[in-house]
Structure 1
Amino acid sequence: MLDALRIEIVEVSNEKVVARCPFMMQPDNTLDSFMGSFNSETVASVGSWNLLDMENEYAIGLEISANHIRGESEGTVKATGFPIHKTTMVWEIQITDENDKPICFSRCTTAVNKRIKKNNS
């Protein structure tokens, strides 16, 4: 899906995740709500997985909300996510245009679950 939507993960660290993609708009020149939500969930998911002990844990999406506050008509958008709670992985995501003007603010929560280890006996 990332390739189809041309979403590029630019940076991944314990403090933030940054992704870029071409602007996709609705007829009223606002960021398409699907793209805002998809970008936000992508950033939160990549960030959550980066912080996990992948042998013993996994993350799944629980909730997402997005507020589109400004229209844009062309260019690239950047989604930057910051972890604000690391037990259930609550992420705050800001989507901005090429000039760092905000387009969308979002919050995404992922659940951290323990992997069940299979007994091979």
Structure 2
Amino acid sequence: MTIWKRDFTVEALNLGLRNTLCEALGMEVTVIHDDGVSGTMPVDSRTVQPMRLLHGGASVALAESLGSMAANMACEPGSYCVGLEINANHIRSATSGLVTGKARAIHIGRSTQIWEINIMDDKGRMVCISRLTMAVKSQNS
């Protein structure tokens, strides 16, 4: 059973990334699952820190981007979601390739949503785990 209240395609989500931080960091939405959204980001000169390791802030940007897109797809028409809080635990470094994040709903309520975002390297190893809390707002206010 799907959690989505709005109909989006991968192509439409990727169009929304144009001229944003997401595009600047090379993010791409790859899959809309029944329970979440997945996307990738390269580990390259745009996303590494001076030691040439994936920057923690880039991981958090991927996590918040995927979670925010998913949250807005899962809220009722006439509502939208904005971030309240995000945290991240950086488990291992990545130095090349792609990282893949998957946002999965933990709680979808009328006033808040909570999303868990797991980011894996291209060998399937956990790089970062993040939790994003979203506020659900009315478009009328």
**Residues in 1 aligned to 2:75 and 2:33: alpha-carbon distance in whole angstroms:** 12
- Residue 32 of structure 1: aligned partner: 55
Shift of 1:72: 1.6
- Equivalences for 1:6-17 in 2 at 5 Å? 6-17=26-37
Paired residues, number: 116
- For 2:127, give the aligned amino acid: I
1:67 to 85, 89, 103: 89
- For 1:41, give the aligned amino acid: E
Structure 1 range deviating more: 5-14 or 57-66: 5-14
Determine helix, strand or coil for the equivalent of 1:83.
strand
- Residue 5 of structure 1: aligned partner: 25
2:40 to 20, 24, 30: 20
2:108 to 71, 74, 86: 86
- The structure in which a higher percent of residues are helix is 2
> Which structure exhibits the higher relative contact order, with contacts defined as CA atoms closer than 8 Å and separated by 6 or more residues?
1
- For 2:128, give the aligned amino acid: C
Give the structure-2-normalised TM-score: 0.76
Stretches of structure 2 lacking an aligned partner (at least 5 in a row): 1-19
Deviations 1:13-69 (A, max 9, x none): 440110101013223454201111100100110100111223x10111000001111
Q: Tell me if structure 2 keeps the 8 A contact 1:78–1:97.
A: yes
In the alignment, structure 1 residue 53 sits paired with structure 2 residue 73: no
Q: Tell me if structure 2 keeps the 8 A contact 1:29–1:71.
A: no
- For 1:21, give the aligned amino acid: M
Give the structure-1-normalised TM-score: 0.88
Determine helix, strand or coil for the equivalent of 1:72.
coil
**Residues in 1 aligned to 2:123 and 2:32: alpha-carbon distance in whole angstroms:** 21
Structure with larger Rg: 1
Q: Tell me if structure 2 keeps the 8 A contact 1:13–1:47.
A: no
Determine helix, strand or coil for the equivalent of 2:62.
helix
- For 1:15, give the aligned amino acid: D
